Amino acid sequence: MKTKVGIIICDRYKSCAGGKCFRSMQEREGAFSIYPKDEDLEIVGFTSCGGCPGGNIEYTPEEMIKNGANVIHLATGMVVGYPPCTRIDHFKRFITEKYGIKVVVGTHPIPEKYYKTHKELGTWDSPKWQELIAPTLPDQKTRLKYD
């Protein structure tokens, strides 16, 4: 089976080349750890949310689905940037409901430098944030690989 992936990134990082996302997909790290190593993954879309309040969220998934996407990842940048995207949970619910497609929060593992900052700030202390970052929160060794 081949899984076709669409990735939506935070607009603050719109010039990002996607290196950490693509590497973590190949290595099956971070949120990509949900896929078996022998499963073919293909990126069929990569774009930004369009900036606050997320203007591209309304129509970008449709284009990705037309390109064959059967899952959409909301990039790790949405949870590590400061402040983290306050709309990420809404985006996930909206895309799932409107388009009937699986949505995963995260791509690459959270880098150690972001982990430290958000831990000191208490950004992710709530149960909701713990749930949102869980797919991208590996051990320290892996976090350091993505610094």
User: How many domains does the chain fold into?
Assistant: 1
Query: Which residue, among 100, 87, 80, 82, has the nearest Cα to 147 in the 3D structure?
Result: 80
Amino acid at 59: Y
Indicate the average pLDDT of the chain. Answer: 96
pLDDT score for 22: 96
The CATH number of whichever domain residue 117 belongs to comes to 3.40.50
Task: List, as one string, the DSSP characters of 29-51.
Answer: -GGGGGS-TTSEEEEEEEEE--S
The pLDDT tens digits for 26-62 are 999 999 999 999 999 999 999 999 999 999 999 999 9
**In 10 A of CB 42, how many CB atoms?**
12
Q: How far apart are the C-alpha atoms of 69 and 53, rounded to whole Å?
A: 23
Domain hosting 7: range is: 2-145
Instruction: Identify the segments of the chain with pLDDT beneath 70.
Output: none
User: What 3 state SS string does 69-133 have?
Assistant: CCEEEECCHHHHCCCCCCCHHHHHHHHHHHHCCEEEECCCCCCHHHHHHHHHHCCCCCHHHHHHH
Q: How far apart are the C-alpha atoms of 105 and 134, rounded to whole Å?
A: 9
Q: What pTM did the predictor assign?
A: 0.95
